[in-house]
């Protein structure tokens, strides 16, 4: 959910939800409260609530409590507390499960000895069956009664209602037969086995669900706990939490960078794969940015902290991934609507089954067993877990590959992209001028570069920075009598030789064929002149990113129409488009007109936009799906649905591939969940399903859905 004027979004950890009916009911309860708009995620056990007006956090916690659950504000320690609580709960449930197994095995084992025999001589004494089944029913199974009571008290019904009602009917009938000595078969084994199997399913489900959040856990584990900072000339190790912007910190070889910062001294290479997915180390020198949790190589770096705590890039990634995992895809709406009415409908079907069988056969026990089977086989858990588990795994895999998903709805739409609009500068290209050609005329290329760079020393002009970057490893001579002519060029003397470097028009070479040829390629040309003799031509351009052409080829292979939008002149646009393999472009578009161009392109289908600058923000907001280049402006990143941390257009194709993989898993999960109930409930109603078998099938349905989602962990971005 995005922030609205006068409102804020707060995240709560929710305890006590057991199935989709719980999350659907809680969401409905919260959305009925004044000033609240909620989104509840069963798999993540989170509720994101937009508060407006007089609504506050206390009102949310109170409303959740009235609905039968518990809520607490999410803070930096919440995940650790939840992990510890879940581990303790898991250990406790494991112990209870094995106790349930020990008590249930004799009840189920007797059925093996009785199988095929008309006599019940192998049957355990009924008082012993009652003694074995009762602890399983009311101690081990107390969680189902507690959950059912809270659900009914809150005005809803969930899976706990089905399990508690079904097993209670089996136990109650069997207990009455035992206590009153009636000549009827008892079904203690059915109720005990169902509770044991459902508990096993819950344990397996909890174990599988824990794996869906591994992406965030692995990111959190990357965060260093301490930093080495400079205090009064001494290096002191302090907790990273107390580091302040502006502090100078040291990163020794092999250590992780504690916070975001800027290198002030030293050089090294840093492995940023955990943030960008790029395996090659990135060279770092004074002035370069470093990011928290990235791994330093062989050199030591002195850095100035620029982003600490929640302001680091890693913290932003963790926050975005968490928000995406907690959001709800449109495809889940159908499952939510069904889950909301599922339990009441199942209860009606069970009642109809009981009445129909009793009327048809006159056998109360047979009617009861079939009604219990209906209650036990029906489970809305699989429906509730189908979408969020796939989204949690999918967005986690995306984060590992440098694709941050801010809007899950956009991830769902990504597979339907028909038109992709691209900004040029900083998106297709590197976003900074580079010397692409040195054409020697009366001097060799190396000497020309050395002289040109010497003249440009101290200049902050983008073209000057490009020349100096190209000559970074060259020893530059001293320049005297330096002068600059605005809009034309610079002049000076080197070793008694008068030199000029500037525009072809200034130096009388505007009509030179070599100059015109380079300009037709969309390049800016400067001339190095000595006493009226042209020594060399230097061509400067915003070079294409190395992977841009490959990315365009991959997108076009998917049948996507690619359109470049740029404010540059037609000649430059044509040159870049040709180099990138783009057939369609629109040049001379003002920033305010890009959004209108996006609206026009929508006639060709669903439109995506990729941009990096502030001027791209309106177009990104107007597109159906928007991608921001990670190195771009904050405004572009804020307006976009997905951010490509690697600043690599191949990430767009990878995001589309991830969208298709994730949506494929969601559809498979929903199919399995629906078909399971569509087949299972009629089989139980027609007496073709034993309650024990129904319990096992119900327990495994949720496990199968979560396990299917975990197969997304095999997804990998294509090799560049």
Catalytic positions are 423
Beta bridge partners of 429: 544
CA 145 – CA 167 distance, rounded (Å): 11
Handedness of CA 404, 406, 412, 414 (dihedral sign): negative
CA atoms within 13 A on the CB side of 109: 9
CA 396 – CA 165 distance, rounded (Å): 38
Residues in the chain: 720
Neighbours of 345 (CB within 10 A): 13
Closest CA to 66 of 20, 13, 28: 28
CA 132 – CA 195 distance, rounded (Å): 13
> CB within 8 A of 305, min separation 6: which ones?
243, 244, 245, 246, 247, 248, 249, 259, 260, 261
> What does each C-alpha distance from 476 to 461, 463, 596, 647 come to in angstroms?
18, 17, 49, 33
**H or E stretch covering 574:** helix 570-580
Give ∠ CA 613-619-624 in degrees, rounded to 5: 125
Q: How do the residues of the chain divide into helix, strand and coil, expressed in percent and rounded to 5? A: 55, 20, 25
> CB within 8 A of 508, min separation 6: which ones?
none
CA 538 – CA 185 distance, rounded (Å): 97
Give the DSSP per-residue string, 342-386: HHHHHHHHHHHHHHHHHHHH--HHHHHHHHHHHHHH--SHHHHHH
Closest CA to 685 of 372, 368, 370: 370
Closest CA to 342 of 368, 375, 389: 375
For residue 231, report the phi and psi dihedrals to the nearest 5 degrees: -135, 115
Is the CB of residue 380 less than 8 Å from the CB of residue 161? no
**Residue 391 is encoded by which pair of tokens?**
């989204």
Q: What is the dihedral of CA 9, 15, 17, 23, to 10 degrees?
A: -10
Buried b (16+ CB within 10 A) or exposed e, 211-234: bbbbbbeebbeebbeebbbeeeee
**Cα(first)–Cα(last) distance of the chain, in Å?**
33
Give the DSSP per-residue string, 176-216: HHHHHT-SS---HHHHHHHHHHHHHHHHHHHHHHHHHTHHH
For residue 563, report the phi and psi dihedrals to the nearest 5 degrees: -125, 130
Long-range contacts of 179-188 (CB under 8 A, 24+ apart): 184/365, 185/365, 186/126, 186/129, 187/365, 187/368, 187/369, 187/372, 187/691, 188/107, 188/129, 188/130, 188/132, 188/133
In terms of Cβ atoms closer than 10 Å to its own Cβ (0-12, 13-18, 19+), residue 40 is buried
Q: What DSSP designation does 619 have?
A: H
């Amino acid at each position: 959910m995005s922030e609205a004027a006068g409102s804020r979004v707060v995240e709560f950890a929710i305890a006590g939800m057991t199935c989709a009916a719980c999350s659907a009911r809680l969401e409905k309860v919260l959305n009925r409260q004044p000033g609240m708009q909620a989104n509840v995620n069963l798999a993540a056990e989170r509720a994101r609530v937009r508060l407006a007006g007089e609504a506050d956090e206390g009102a949310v916690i109170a409303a959740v409590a009235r609905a039968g659950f518990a809520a607490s504000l999410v803070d930096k320690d919440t995940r650790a507390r939840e992990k510890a609580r879940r581990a303790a709960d898991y250990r406790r449930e494991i112990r209870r499960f094995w106790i349930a197994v020990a008590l249930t095995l004799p009840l189920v084992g007797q059925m093996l000895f009785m199988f095929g025999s008309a006599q019940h001589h192998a049957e355990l004494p009924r008082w012993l069956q009652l003694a074995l089944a009762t602890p399983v029913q009311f101690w081990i199974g107390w969680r189902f009664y507690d959950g059912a009571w809270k659900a009914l008290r809150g005005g809803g019904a969930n899976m706990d209602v089905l399990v508690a009602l079904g097993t209670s009917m089996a136990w109650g009938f069997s207990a009455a037969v035992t206590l009153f000595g009636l000549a009827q078969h008892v079904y203690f084994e059915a109720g005990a086995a169902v509770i044991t199997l459902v508990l096993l399913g819950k344990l397996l489900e909890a174990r599988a669900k824990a794996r869906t959040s591994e992406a965030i856990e692995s990111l959190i584990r990357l965060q260093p706990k301490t930093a080495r900072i400079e205090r009064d000339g001494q290096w002191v190790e302090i907790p990273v939490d107390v580091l302040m912007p502006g502090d100078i910190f040291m990163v020794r070889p092999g250590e992780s960078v504690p916070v975001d910062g800027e290198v002030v001294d030293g050089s090294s290479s840093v492995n940023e794969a955990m943030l960008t997915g790029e395996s090659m180390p990135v060279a770092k020198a004074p002035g370069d940015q470093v990011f928290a949790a990235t791994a330093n190589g062989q050199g030591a770096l002195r850095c100035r902290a620029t982003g600490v705590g929640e302001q680091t890039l890693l913290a932003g990634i963790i926050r975005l991934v968490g928000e995406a995992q907690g959001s709800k895809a449109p495809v889940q709406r159908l499952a939510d609507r069904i889950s909301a009415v599922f339990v009441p409908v199942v209860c009606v079907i069970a009642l109809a089954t009981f009445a129909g069988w009793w009327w048809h056969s006159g056998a109360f026990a047979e009617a009861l067993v079939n009604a219990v089977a209906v209650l036990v086989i029906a489970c809305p858990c699989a429906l509730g877990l189908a979408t969020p588990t796939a989204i949690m795994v999918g967005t986690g895999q995306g984060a590992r590959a440098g694709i941050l998903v801010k809007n899950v709805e956009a991830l769902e739409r990504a597979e339907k992209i028909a038109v992709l609009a691209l900004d040029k500068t900083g998106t297709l290209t590197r976003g900074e001028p580079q010397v692409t050609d040195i054409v020697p005329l009366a001097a060799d290329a190396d000497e020309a570069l050395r002289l040109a760079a010497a003249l440009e020393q101290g200049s902050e002009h983008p073209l000057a920075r490009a020349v100096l970057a190209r000559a970074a490893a060259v020893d530059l001579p001293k320049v005297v009598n330096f002068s600059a002519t605005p809009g034309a060029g610079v002049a000076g003397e080197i070793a008694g030789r008068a030199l000029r470097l500037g525009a072809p028009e200034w130096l009388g070479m505007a009509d030179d064929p070599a100059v015109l040829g380079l300009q037709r390629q969309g390049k800016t040309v400067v001339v190095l002149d000595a006493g009226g003799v042209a020594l060399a031509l230097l061509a400067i351009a915003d070079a294409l990113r190395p992977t841009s052409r490959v990315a365009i080829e991959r997108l076009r292979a998917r049948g996507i129409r690619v359109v470049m939008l740029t404010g540059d002149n037609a000649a430059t646009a044509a040159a870049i488009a040709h180099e990138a393999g783009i057939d369609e472009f629109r040049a001379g578009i003002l920033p305010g007109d890009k959004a209108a161009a996006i609206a026009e392109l929508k006639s060709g289908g669903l439109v995506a936009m990729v941009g990096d600058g502030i001027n791209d923000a309106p177009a990104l907001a107007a597109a159906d799906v928007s991608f921001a280049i990670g190195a771009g402006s904050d405004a572009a990143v804020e307006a976009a649905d997905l951010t490509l941390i690697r600043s690599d257009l191949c990430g767009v194709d990878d995001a589309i591939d991830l969208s298709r993989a994730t949506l494929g898993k969601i559809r498979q999960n929903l199919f399995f969940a629906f078909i399971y109930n569509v087949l299972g409930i009629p089989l139980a109603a027609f007496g073709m399903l034993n309650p024990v078998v129904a319990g096992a099938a119900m327990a495994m349905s949720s496990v199968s859905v979560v396990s299917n989602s975990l197969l997304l962990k095999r997804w990998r971005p294509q090799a560049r």
